[in-house]
Chain A
């Protein structure tokens, strides 16, 4: 360590360097108000010229203590707060809690409710990936994609408004089913969305996937080896792009996902392009699941099993994870048998996925850091909780 570097105070999270570049390196603050950090995430980057030597993310700017709040309210009340974690796949968040309550109390779920849940969850996965696609393009400098992504996302959001009563904070799933039955024209609207999605996916491919600039800027950038992905607990498209075949829907199946035929898209290189492509192929698979779900949808029936006055979990600890749009979202609840849980912990996919940033961004250029961050597809409120 040179006298120069030992005399200055390093930004938090950085160790004194041993890479022999003390004289060259400097530190750059990115965020929390940076357009490419997707919310209020702050990164401190150690750079040599334009080359990234290390990144330390500083999450916590939107910490609301949602887990702590959950200790002071009933599970039913907590359920609606989870919409504010990963707001782009809020149904996955609430589904994990509903599954816990149903298992703990032995509640059954009517078949129609199961189908409604799967259809909405898959629609939300598509919506979330569409939005990500738009933002990914924008981060790489193609602002047009943002508008196309939002155009198609809007169709799904409108359906959510009609079914759930809100566009983002849906609060629709309940232990034992869903809050209300779907409107009569639900399936017809899903068909319209599927039709539009098929068209859009084709358009997305022509606009971005086959674009030379996008290819050159993502091929071989931010390579995440499978072993690293596993050891950091990555999940979702980030894990699968590295070639690890793990999808909670398939390998730890829940709800009625075992009734549908779908593939788990895998990448080979684990670079930004693979993460991009895996998400594009995931959308196509979601469309496949939706087609089957729409065909099998029970024409009538109850949408919620008998409502209980209170949902008191028996003493013990409960865990369930689901495949949300960004990866495995889990909820862990410790209960002492009273109305309010003793402890709630949410396992957010974004946190684990963000933690590999330092490993995979080292050696990349600063502009590539933006690509890499975008390809990890984080939602900051989910990380900060």
Chain B
């Protein structure tokens, strides 16, 4: 049962009025201080500040495949990232090249299933994956959530 525990003394009406006025003034004082010091206000006006937004270097956005100096992906279609992913986000579609060697055909990345944990990037032994800083991923096109990550450089 809820009841006033004896530990708290009851205030008299006069005490009430004094205390209440005091707390009102204190509260307003704090707010007023920020009114007078606009530099200390921390509000940022997203989306107007989009161009100035900076992400931490480690920020984990959607997975991408960078190119090396030769303009190639480093991926060997080993499939470790596919295995490391807890959500089945990555599908490695391997194929064979003219020399009958197993190579990457498509790395299909189901963005809608990704939880941005970074385990695939950690698992890749060839450093072929990166997490980008892309954000604002919402879309009304289902196709935007099925990405083929390997691509020709410059495209």
Contact = CB atoms under 8 A, between A and B. Distances in A.
Interface of A: 73, 76-78, 80-81, 144, 151, 154, 158, 161-166, 169, 171, 179-180, 203, 206-207, 210-213, 219-223, 268-269, 271, 360-364, 368
Given A163-B58, A165-B56, A212-B20, A171 B117 contact: yes
26 contacts: A81-B86, A81-B115, A144-B31, A151-B42, A161-B56, A161-B58, A161-B59, A163-B58, A165-B60, A165-B131, A166-B116, A180-B58, A206-B30, A207-B30, A212-B19, A212-B20, A213-B23, A220-B2, A221-B2, A222-B2, A269-B7, A271-B2, A362-B2, A363-B1, A363-B2, A364-B2
A223 B3 contact: yes
The 8 closest A-B pairs by CB, nearest first: A77-B86, A165-B58, A220-B4, A162-B56, A80-B117, A211-B23, A364-B2, A363-B1
Interface residues of B, number: 34
Contacts of A368: 2
Contacts of A162: 56-58
A206 B56 contact: no
Nearest to B18: A212
Given A161-B56, A213-B23, A223 B2 contact: yes
| Listed residue (A169, A212, A360) with the most chain B CB atoms within 10 angstroms of its CB | A212
Given A161-B59, A219-B5, A269-B5, A206 B115 contact: no
Nearest to A365: B2
A99 B144 CA distance: 39
Contacts of B4: 219-220
Interface of B: 1-5, 7-8, 11, 16, 19-20, 22-23, 26-27, 30-31, 42, 55-60, 84-86, 115-119, 122, 131
B59 A268 contact: no
Contacts of B42: 151, 154
A126 B29 CA distance: 25
Contacts of A166: 59-60, 116
Contacts of A144: 27, 31
B100 to A, nearest CB: 29
A210 B18 CA distance: 13
A19 to B, nearest CB: 12
A319 B114 CA distance: 29
Given A77-B84, A165-B131, A269-B7, 9 more contacts: A164-B58, A169-B115, A169-B116, A206-B26, A220-B2, A268-B7, A360-B2, A362-B1, A363-B2
Nearest to A218: B8
Contacts of B115: 80-81, 169
Nearest to A174: B122
A17 to B, nearest CB: 16
Contacts of B16: 212
B58 to A, nearest CB: 4
A205 to B, nearest CB: 10
Nearest to B1: A363
B31 A161 contact: no
Nearest to A145: B27
Nearest to A268: B7
A116 to B, nearest CB: 14
B15 to A, nearest CB: 9
Contacts of A268: 7
A223 B7 CA distance: 12
Nearest to B44: A154
Contacts of A206: 26-27, 30
A222 B1 CA distance: 7
A161 B55 contact: yes
